[in-house]
Amino acid sequence: MNLKIAKLAGDGIGPEVIEQATKVVDAIAKKYNHTVEWTEALTGAAAIDAVGNPYPDDTHEICMNADAVLFGAIGHPKFDNDPSAKVRPEQGLLAMRKKLGLFANIRPTTTFPSLIHKSPLRRDLVEGADFVCIRELTGGIYFGEKGRKDDGKSAYDLCIYSWEEVERIVRLSYDYAMKRNKKLCVVDKANVLESSRLWREVAQSIEKEYPEVETEYLFVDAAAMRIIQWPKGFDVMVTENMFGDILTDEASVISGSMGLMPSASIGVHTSVFEPIHGSYPQAAGKNIANPLGTILSAAMMFEYAFDLKEEAKRIQDVVNQSLEEGAVTVDIAEDGKALSTSEVGDWIASRI
C-alpha cells in the first residue's frame, strides 16, 4: 500500500517526538512492504513565526491531500502569558479540527503492567482499567460565539450544539461500544445546562436503536470522581468538547504517564493522529521527551486510517516490550537508566 502521510511537527517537543514516530512508521513500511510518502507542513507557533498563521492554507491543502495526518504538539510560552496576543498557536489546532471536520476525538485510557506502580492511584483500582473517551471536537464552547461587552469588562463564550452534531458523535460512540464491551456512558451536565439537555435527549432517542448496549448517563462532576474512584467501570464514554478536554487529562494520569497516551481525531476529511500531551516547552530540544504517545498515535493511524491492524499491533507490542525492558525516557525510567528520545525511537524501529 502507498501511504500518504502529512507530517505536522509543530512546536516544543513536537519535532523530536514526530521524528521518532517517523522512524517507526518507516520501519513498519519496510517490514510489511508499504511505501510512505511524507509531506511536512507548518503549524502552531512555528507557522506564526514563518507566515503569520498557525494553520496556513498550504498546510490545510497538504492535509486534505494526505491519507492521514501525524501531528506533534503546538503551543509556546510566549503566547501563554499574553492574553492580548491576536494570533495564538492553539488557533491552528482548532482551525485544523474545524476545517478537516474532525468531530470525534478518540482517547483511549489503558494501563501498562510494567508501569502500574507509577500510577498515582492504587494498583487494585488501576490494574485492568481500559476505556475510551470519545470527545466531541468541533462544537460547543470552543467554537461558539465569544466576545467582550461593557467596555471589555465582561466576557462570554457560548456553548452551542445542534441536534445533528450531537447525533453523529453519539452514533459513532454506540458503534464503537458495539465493537468493545457494549457499555456507553453519556457524560453531560443536564441538571444545569440546556445544551446538555439536548445531548441527553438526542442520546435517549438513539439508545433505543442499540438495545445490546448498556447506556448510563452521568453528570460530568460525578464522572470526574468516578474516573479516579473506579476507572474499571467504564468502557466507552462520550461527551462534549470541553468536558472531554478536562476528563481526558484526568484519565491520562491513570496509566502512570501522560507521555504515553495517543489519540485519533476522525470525521469528515483526513484523520489526524496525535499524542494527548502538549508541547512541553521546558523539554524542547533536550532529547528527553517521551516519544511513546506519538508512536502509539502512529499505531492508531495504521488501524484507523489504513485499516492495517497487524501493523498497528506490531507497534503496540514493541512499545510494550520497551516498557518491560526499561528502554524508556527519563519520565518513566527506573534507577537512572533512561534512554534519550531518539534512542527510544531507534530501539523501537530496530526491533520492528
Give the catalytic positions in this structure: 142, 189, 221, 245, 249
Give min distance, CB of 311 to ligand IPM, in A.
25
- Of the candidates 97, 28, 106, 42, the one whose C-alpha atom is nearest the C-alpha of residue 319 is 28
Beta-bridge mates of residue 184: 215, 236
Separation of alpha carbons 287 and 17, rounded Å: 9
Grid cell, residue 305, equals 486510517
Q: Please identify the residue of the shown chain whose CB is closest to the bound ligand IPM.
A: 90
Q: Quick one: 93 or 305, whose CB is closer to ligand IPM?
A: 93
Decide: is 240 part of the binding site for ligand IPM (CB under 6 A).
no
Q: Quick one: 144 or 326, whose CB is closer to Mn ion?
A: 144
# of chain residues touching ligand IPM (CB under 6 A): 4
Give min distance, CB of 91 to ligand IPM, in A.
8
Q: Quick one: 40 or 249, whose CB is closer to ligand IPM?
A: 249
Q: What does 90 interact with, of ligand IPM, Mn ion, none (CB < 5 to 8 A by kind)?
A: ligand IPM
Q: What does 300 interact with, of Mn ion, ligand IPM, none (CB < 5 to 8 A by kind)?
A: none
Q: Quick one: 136 or 245, whose CB is closer to Mn ion?
A: 245
Q: What is the DSSP letter of 181?
A: T
Angle at 250 between CA 247 and CA 255, to 5 degrees: 125
Q: What does 93 interact with, of ligand IPM, Mn ion, none (CB < 5 to 8 A by kind)?
A: ligand IPM
Q: Quick one: 188 or 245, whose CB is closer to Mn ion?
A: 245
Phi-psi region of 140 (alpha: psi -120 to 50; beta: other; left: phi over 0): left
Decide: is 235 part of the binding site for ligand IPM (CB under 6 A).
no
Task: Count, in order, helices (H) and strands (E) of the chain.
Answer: 13, 12
Length of the chain counted residue by residue: 352
Q: Which of 16, 165, 188, 245 binds ligand IPM (CB under 6 A)?
A: 245
Q: Quick one: 60 or 107, whose CB is closer to ligand IPM?
A: 107
Give min distance, CB of 250 to ligand IPM, in A.
12
Decide: is 299 part of the binding site for ligand IPM (CB under 6 A).
no
- Mind giving me the DSSP string for 28-84? HHHHHT-EEEEEE---HHHHHHHHS-SS-HHHHHHHHHSSEEEEEE---HHHHT-TT
Q: What does 227 interact with, of ligand IPM, Mn ion, none (CB < 5 to 8 A by kind)?
A: none
Report CA-CA distances (Å) from 139 to 145, 196, 207, 293. 11, 13, 22, 25
Give min distance, CB of 278 to Mn ion, in A.
8
Give min distance, CB of 236 to Mn ion, in A.
19
Strands of 183-188's sheet in order across:
35-40, 2-10, 68-73, 271-275, 262-266, 104-110, 130-136, 236-239, 183-188, 214-219
Q: Are the CB atoms for 226 and 234 separated by under 8 Å?
A: yes
Beta-bridge mates of residue 239: 135, 187
Separation of alpha carbons 119 and 97, rounded Å: 31
Decide: is 251 part of the binding site for ligand IPM (CB under 6 A).
no
Residues of this chain that interact with Mn ion (CB under 5 A) are 245
Give min distance, CB of 28 to ligand IPM, in A.
25
Per-residue x/- track, 76-105, ligand IPM (CB under 6 A): --------------x--x------------
Contact positions vs ligand IPM (CB under 6 A): 75, 90, 93, 245
